[in-house]
Structure 1
Amino acid sequence: MVVLKFRRVIILKSDNEEIFKLIEEVSNYEDIKISDIPCVDLYMDQVTTFFDEKLKNLKRDKEEKILTKTMINNYAKAKLLLPVKGKKYSKEQMVLLALIYNLKQTLSINDTGLVLSPIIKKLTSSKESEIVEEIYNTFVEINKLQMEEFNQWFKNKIELVNEKSSLIESNDEDLVQHILTVLMLTSSANMQKRMAEKIIDDYFKLVKEE
């Protein structure tokens, strides 16, 4: 039997309902809050299930896994996590895993390690262990504000893309708009990635050498 797959056609107009649907889909998630993390230590299976459930809206498809045992073991080998005690993961390790998940979407494992290394050192000190939760809570607040700003930013960029694409003579205006939109988004993401890497090179690498 032949199964026909119909693609979803999105017309990118700044005043189009599809734009609002796209933005809603992208922003339809909440970062894991500290209060969401159980106070009791969790086994590996419980950890992967927790992240899979809490961040399920970030999956591109149902088969995708947010975190796997292999990923977590690799993070441990790279010393991105505190040593596991009794095969259970503490609340501090869960916070680190949440930070790792966010960082690894853009950065390499090595760069992620450079960013988290100072935090891990502070976790070993009972006097400074609370700063990790404070950093994470602040990150969640900033991320929420960024998402709100992104909504208007994206609409403005679509207007720019539509304006510029109208100058291109083509029989497939939608194709041109979609290509330019993806190029615009990836260019913006690349600039932000390079800025993050520059900060890592100019600050975190020096911190490691001290």
Structure 2
Amino acid sequence: MDEESLKKLLEEVCSFDQLEFSGIPDIDLYMDQVTTFIDEKFSYLKRNKEDTSLTKTMINNYTKAGILMPPKKKKYSRQHMVLIILTYYLKQILSINDIQALFSPIVENINKLEDSKINLKDVYEEFLQLEKLEIENFKTDFEKEINLKDCSGEHNDISKSMMLVIMLIVKANIQKRMAEKIIDSFFKKKS
């Protein structure tokens, strides 16, 4: 593992085309169309090509858990698609119960009113901006880390690789714990 190889991996992880809101179909889709769309648009997030992004069972479970509104006449709207996309990202880190707690105010609002006060377009566009910003911050921070850990020799190369992985996991763990604390404090109903 050398600095150039790490920079290549970094570029691979951070280089992708975001799915803009306008790229989400504005027509209602059947479940097969939803799973195909998500699989095509988010294949870059798969670790292995044979992994499945989204299944019918997952969508049904999200609806049962209250993460999604029930489909209308077995069709999923653009609102459904936004929640499915956000769930796809969040489920990599959070439990389904945490996602349900996070989304329940949105889903309840949409289920109660024909015109929801919560604009999912705004939520999604803000998500895209956050994603861009966090990717740039991550690239900058990671490049600094690989420059600081300038080791030579095979043993040091293995140590350097291990320490980079551990550093990433420690940061991810701290961020996950903070996200869970926010959900527990502000989104879960206290009994």
Q: Give me the TM-score of the superposition, normalised by structure 1.
A: 0.84
Find the counterpart in structure 2 of residue 39 from structure 1.
26
Query: In the aligned structure 2, how far is the partner of 1:43 from the partner of 1:173?
Result: 53
Shift of 1:135: 1.0
Superposed, which structure 2 residues align to 1:1-210 within 5 Å?
A: 10-11=1-2, 13=3, 17-124=4-111, 125-129=113-117, 131-160=119-148, 162=149, 172-205=155-188, 208-209=189-190
RMSD value, Cα: 1.8
Query: In the aligned structure 2, how far is the partner of 1:123 from the partner of 1:90?
Result: 12
Give CA deviations for 1:142-180 in whole Å, capped at 9, x if unaligned: 1111111111110112234x25x67xxx86111111111
Q: Is the 8 A contact 1:41 1:89 kept in 2?
A: yes
- Other structure's SS at 1:46 match: helix
Query: In the aligned structure 1, how far is the partner of 2:66 from the partner of 2:157?
Result: 47
Deviating above 4 A after TM superposition, structure 1's stretches of 4 or more consecutive aligned residues are none
Shift of 1:24: 1.1
Larger radius of gyration: 1
Give the 3 Å change call, closer, same or farther, for CA 171–157 of structure 1 in structure 2: closer
Q: Is the 8 A contact 2:106 2:118 kept in 1?
A: no
- Structure 2: 5+ residue stretches without partners: none
Shift of 1:209: 4.9
- Structure 1: 5+ residue stretches without partners: 1-9
Q: Give me the TM-score of the superposition, normalised by structure 2.
A: 0.92
Matched length: 190
